[in-house]
Chains A and B, each alone.
Chain A
Amino acid sequence: MTHGPGTNGLILDEPLLWEKGKPGRVAYSMPTRDVPEESVDDTLVGDGPDFPDLGELDVIRHYTRLSQWNFGIDTGMYPLGSCTMKYNPKINEKMAATPGLASAHPLLEAELSQGILKLHYELQEYLAAVTGMDAVSLQPSAGAQGELTAMLMFAAYFRKKNEKRTKILIPDTAHGTNPASAALCGFASIPITSGKNGILEPVSVEELMDEETVGIMVTNPNTLGLFEEQIKEITDIVHRKGGLVYGDGANMNAIMGMVDIKRCGIDAVHLNLHKTFSTPHGGGGPGSGPVCVTEELAPFLPVPLVIKTDQGYLLETDEADSIGRVHGFFGNVSVLIRAYSYILSMGPDNLKKASQLAVLNGAYVKARLMDTFELAFDRPCMHECVFSDSRQQAFKVTTLDMAKRLIDHGYHPPTIYFPLVVPGAIMVEPTETECKDDLDTFIEVFKAIAAEAEQDSERLHQAPVITKVRRLDETQAARKPCLTG
């Protein structure tokens, strides 16, 4: 069968940290003591935590081995739908380490921090330009906090207007963070079913939208990889009832320079800089989830905002209607620096091109795999496409089995079992940074796995077989949680 890059290799084992070391070892280069010892109140002194004492090489080998058990974008293809695992340019790491920026104390006066404030201000402007929106806060630390920030702003907006709205419409294709963020603001989620084409129909919004409803949370392109073609009709309905529209920008990578979010009628949208703007995902963060809003909502943005004046860049903290801070300082600034560096190194044409190629790659994978796997919705897709395991179920092979078999071939599996509206969903997002050769190998391997499903299903049930660990017992992990060693 066709092979991806996966192969057997030497995997070195490594114990837990505290199973190593000897008391007295220190890997840290301790500064020379140049001040006298001062007495401490004995009643306050503790024993200190029970940490293992390790030497420098102990620490180096430990974490180097751990890193080798990981798969990253630098290792191979990561077609993880709705996560936009594109290549993270190395130059951005270097820029984030610029000494004056990396060592900046967040409470230094503005006149001593002009460089970082300029960067902050310009990134606000650039993100406004990319989305078409009017004002931006860079404070939210991740997409979910961006959503929460927008929901808090919606709540503050209606409080100011003395309107009591308690419900919010959320499509059945939405990320789980949408209802969870809305719930934190006391909004009850009203699920709204997508039409048979996989996109929202204005008529279902019309039915549910009323003057007790805050509005709607829409992901566009949605999590089926489809553009919500009737978005304008939908946002008009919501606005006619005095509501607001929140856009989940998780899939912004499909539409940069192609779609104007404000023209869609969206009032607030969050961006995931760790998706669209190439900042590394770090095994689960730090991310960054700036919120971009219309002029009408701008007064409710978190403070501080960075403004440009004749005296240079300043922090604006006095906004009477602001929801306040959502971060102790200014958000995940080191992530913002990387995104800023990415935008500048791309420029306007390349950002647009990135989206076009992301959509081309999505459409290409869809076209080449749709004979093998059941396509959830046969419509023009954007940067990702969703299949299901319905054809393979005849051979008692599931999405999970095929996903795990991809691992043996050296690929990170696609997003599976999401969105929830497609049973056994397989969501593939190749991103623009994969070349045709690599896509072709991935496609051939995935087809070979489908063939294997028919001939040797047991092999798929057993997969993965060449990884350091095989399938793990998640039920046991949850039933008797062991969270510390």
Chain B
Amino acid sequence: MLAVTGQQSLEELFDHIPEDLRYQGEIDIPGPLSEWELTDHFENLGSSMYTGSSRAVLIGAGSYDHHVPEIVRSLSGRSEFLTSYTPYQPEMAQGTLQGIFEFQTLTARLLGTEVANASMYDGASALAEALLMAIRISKKKRTVAISSAVHPHYREVVRTYLAPGPFEIVELPYGADGRTELSVLAEIDDLAGVALQSPNFFGVIEDHAAAAELVHDRGALYIACFSEPLTFGLYRNPGSFGADIVCGEGQSFGMNQSYGGAGLGMFGCKQQFVRNMPGRVVGRTADKDGKRGFVLTLATREQHIRREKATSNICSNQGLCAMTAAIHMATLGSTGLRELAKLNYDKAAHLRNGLLDAGATQLFSGPVFNEFVVVFDTDFRPQRERLLHKGIVAGLPLTGYYPDLGQAYLFCATETVSRQLIDELLEEVRR
């Protein structure tokens, strides 16, 4: 091959690169490791984690321990899905394209929106993009309001994304029921969008109906965010209350927790705003022979056509995660989704009732799904430490996020938590 290219050695291929820009010496990394050595190394890394099959982590807070069905793992791992590129050549990517079209459809049905995009990076950046979208639609308005009961990390990402712009972010307080106080909205001018999360970080279901009405009265867009999409198998979805944009995290649908990623940003909105929506979308069309087919569409909103005027800079999204979520939703169906959602609700209720019986107090009176906050009147840390040794992580201490809340812990119980484990935990709490 070198004879064809006209060089004597591989190094010569780089002769035109100035000497002073060359890499000096060897790259300072270990390896190469054989498969055996690599597997060994990873087993060591894995075993120095607390998590594993004999451990239960009763924390949600944006990352949920749900069972991943084998068919979801097996289908989403098919190499034709895994090793394909973004479907720029639709004739050889109809699998991805139809799969994403189905994802958009199931997502829109789940969230109650008219349209949905092909995915965003995660729930946090989806929320940041939703607020930017609201600002774009409003044309001149510069202020957005966000509930302080939105996941603290999501709020941080929002601040990062909005920092360079001339925007103001107002945080709305929460009340005794754990729901966002909406009354302050009346005092905020120049409002482009208002974002609430439901269930919010405390696990409490927000009053979408009241929020949507108030926000629309103020001439702003109502953005409903979520970190647990399974909620909509049981509770009414935000779209049905008139939310303009619904966005959040879809990790619950078939993705490993994997220390928080790769997850899935889900994003839907009303049809009227579709040309302002960020991200890729797949649309249905027909081929030369009139046969049904799918393509990436509305590209004129996107960076590769519109460049600096694009609705977002997003290019690669979470394609395979979207496909995985669609497979997961198909695996559940309406019937399975309702049953699984109710089971989550009941498991969390069982844990909550037990904790309350054992002397804990429920901090917020609002309705919940699979997460809730309790406070202990004595120091819970020693018990939590003992439970840790028994293989149970008993809730997330909220002091770091909300210093005012004292001995508050955010608990989560999904379908993976057995009654036996809950009873074991309660026994320790009662001691």
> Do A and B assemble together?
yes
The answer to whether B288 has its CB under 8 Å from any CB of chain A is yes
Q: Given A48-B334, A280-B83, A481-B281, does the pair A63, B300 have CB atoms closer than 8 Å? A: no
CA–CA, A164 to B38, complex, Å? 49
Q: How far is the CA of A115 from the CA of B43 in the complex (A)?
A: 9
Of B141-149, B177-185, B320-328, the one contacting chain A is: B320-328
Q: Is B426 an interface residue (CB 8 A)?
A: no
Shortest B349–chain A CB gap in Å is 4
**Cβ 8 A contact of A105, one of B86, B163, B257:** B257
| In the assembled complex, B212 has its CB within 8 A of some CB on chain A | no
* Complex contact B63–A326 (CB within 8 A): no
Confirm or deny: A307 has a beta carbon within 8 angstroms of a beta carbon on chain B: no
Does A171 reach chain B (CB closer than 8 Å)?
no
Give the contact stretch, choosing among B71-79, B187-195, B216-224, B374-382.
B71-79
Q: How far is the CA of A88 from the CA of B164 in the complex (A)?
A: 37
Asked if B92 is at the interface of the complex by the 8 Å CB criterion, the answer is: yes
- The answer to whether B92 touches A467, judged by C-beta atoms less than 8 angstroms apart, is yes
Q: Once bound together, how far apart are the Cα atoms of A472 and B93, in whole Å?
A: 12
B236 to chain A: which residues have CB within 8 Å? 44-46
Kindly identify, within residues 303 to 348 of chain B, every residue whose CB is under 8 Å from any CB belonging to chain A. Answer: 303-310, 312-321, 323, 326-327, 329-343, 345-347
**A282 near B82: Cβ-Cβ < 8 Å:** yes
Q: Let me know if B303 and A177 touch, CB within 8 A.
A: yes
Closest Cβ of chain A: how far from B31's Cβ, in Å?
Answer: 3
Q: Is the CB of B280 within 8 A of A380?
A: no
Over the window 150-189 of chain A, the binary record of Cβ atoms lying under 8 Å from chain B Cβ atoms (1 yes, 0 no) is: 0010011000000000000000000111011111111011
Could you say which of B5, B59, B321 contacts A363, with CB atoms under 8 Å apart?
A: B5
**Cα of A66 to Cα of B93 in the assembled complex, Å:** 9
Give the shortest distance, in Å, between A218 (CB) and chain B (any CB): 13
> Hey, which chain B residues are within 8 Å of A181, CB to CB?
313
Q: Which chain B residues numbered 121 to 159 have a C-beta less than 8 Å away from chain A? A: 121-125, 132, 151, 153-154, 156-157, 159
- Is B51 in contact with A284, judged by CB distance below 8 angstroms? no
Q: Is B210 an interface residue (CB 8 A)?
A: no
Report the nearest A residue to B75, measured CB to CB: A63
Q: Is the CB of B418 within 8 A of A34?
A: yes
A360 to B11 Cα, complex, angstroms: 10
Is the CB of B270 closer than 8 A to any CB of chain A? Answer: no
A341 to chain B, nearest CB (A): 6
**Nearest CB in chain A to that of B341: its residue:** A48
Instruction: Please judge, given known A-B contacts A69-B94, A72-B80, whether A281 and B86 are in contact too, CB under 8 Å.
Output: yes
Taking a contact as CB atoms under 8 Å apart, the answer to whether A25 and B317 are in contact is no
Does A349 make an interface contact (CB < 8 A)? yes
Q: Is A448 an interface residue (CB 8 A)?
A: no
Q: Which of A45, A286, A343 has the most CB of B within 10 A?
A: A286
Decide yes or no whether A328 CB sits under 8 A from chain B: yes
Q: How far is the CA of A126 from the CA of B156 in the complex (A)?
A: 28
A285-B119, A329-B261, A367-B6 known; A180-B157 Cβ under 8 A:
no
Q: Collect the chain B residues with CB atoms within 8 Å of residue A45's CB.
A: 234-236
Residues of B within 8 A of A177 (CB): 303-304, 313, 315
Contact B104 A118 (CB under 8 A): no
What is the 8 Å Cβ interface bit string for chain A, positions 114-129, against chain B (1 contact, 0 not)?
1110110000001001
A208 within 8 A of partner (CB): no
Known: A74-B80, A186-B164, A483-B282. A474 touches B295 (CB 8 A): yes
Flag if A325 contacts B160 (CB, 8 Å): yes
- Chain A hits for B92, CB < 8 A: 69-71, 407, 412, 464, 467
| Nearest-CB residue, chain A, relative to B89 | A413
Total interface residues on A, CB under 8 Å, equals 189
B26 within 8 A of A: yes
Contact of A145 with B121 at beta-carbon distance under 8 Å, contacts A36-B346, A113-B49, A467-B91 already known: yes
B106 touches A17 (CB 8 A): yes
Q: Would A33 and B343 be within 8 Å (CB), given that A100-B51, A332-B262 are in contact?
A: yes
A 276-299 binary contact with B (CB < 8 Å = 1; else 0): 000011111111000000000000
Selected contact of A141 from candidates B62, B115, B125, CB within 8 Å: B125
Is the CB of A468 closer than 8 A to any CB of chain B? yes
Q: How many chain-B residues does the 8 Å CB contact rule pick out?
A: 195
Is B237 interfacial (CB 8 A cutoff)? yes
* Inter-subunit contact A70/B75 (CB<8 Å): no
Q: Please report which residues of chain B, range 81-107, place their CB below 8 angstroms from some CB of chain A when the two chains form the complex.
A: 81-87, 89-96, 98-102, 104-106
CB distance from A411 to the nearest CB of B (A): 9
Q: Which of A50-58, A238-246, A391-399 contacts B (4 or more CB under 8 A)?
A: A50-58
Q: Which residue of B lies closest to A411 (CB)?
A: B92
Greatest chain B CB density within 10 A among A36, A99, A114 is at: A99
Minimum CB distance partner of A158 in chain B: B164
Q: What's the nearest-Cβ distance from chain B to residue A453, in Å?
A: 19
In the bound complex, CA of A337 to CA of B49 (Å) = 14
Q: How far is the CB of B65 from chain A (nearest CB, A)?
A: 7
Q: Which residues of A contact B422 (CB under 8 A)?
A: 35
The answer to the question of A364 belonging to the interface, with a C-beta cut-off of 8 Å to chain B, is yes
A142, B63: Cβ atoms closer than 8 Å: no
* A129 and B27 within 8 A (CB): yes
Question: Residues of A contacting B85 with CB < 8 Å?
Answer: 78, 80, 83, 85, 281, 283-284, 412
A470 touches B160 (CB 8 A): no
**Contact A186 B165, beta carbon cutoff 8 Å:** yes
With A53-B335, A63-B75, A256-B27 as known contacts, state yes or no: A472 contacts B45, CB within 8 Å.
Answer: no
Query: With A and B bound together, what is the CA distance between A30 and B91 in angstroms?
Result: 38
Across-interface contacts of A337 in B (CB, < 8 A): 258
CA distance A73 to B260 in the complex (A): 27
Residue of A nearest to B305 (CB): A176
Q: With A98-B42, A330-B261, A412-B85 in contact, do A49 and B327 touch (Cβ < 8 Å)?
A: no
Q: Are A327 and B297 in contact (CB under 8 A)?
A: no
Closest Cβ of chain B to A309, distance in Å, is 16
Give the docked Cα–Cα distance between A29 and B66 (Å): 12
Closest residue of B by beta carbon distance from A11: B94
> Which A440-485 residues have a C-beta within 8 angstroms of B?
464, 467-474, 476-478, 481-485
Q: Give the contacts of A222-265 with B (CB-CB under 8 A).
A: 227, 229, 231-232, 255-260, 263-264
Q: Contact partner of B33 among A232, A326, A344, A436, CB < 8 A?
A: A344
CB pair B49–A482 under 8 Å, yes or no, is: no
Picked from B10, B82, B338, the residue with its CB within 8 Å of the CB of A280 is: B82
Q: A26-B333, A72-B83, A286-B316 are in contact. List 14 more A-B contacts (CB 8 A).
A: A14-B98, A17-B330, A27-B71, A29-B69, A73-B79, A83-B85, A112-B49, A115-B45, A281-B84, A285-B316, A326-B161, A330-B260, A334-B262, A482-B285
5 contacts between A and B (CB under 8 A): A51-B106, A75-B79, A91-B39, A118-B45, A327-B122
- Nearest 6 A-B pairs (CB), nearest first? A329-B260, A282-B320, A347-B31, A284-B319, A106-B260, A100-B46
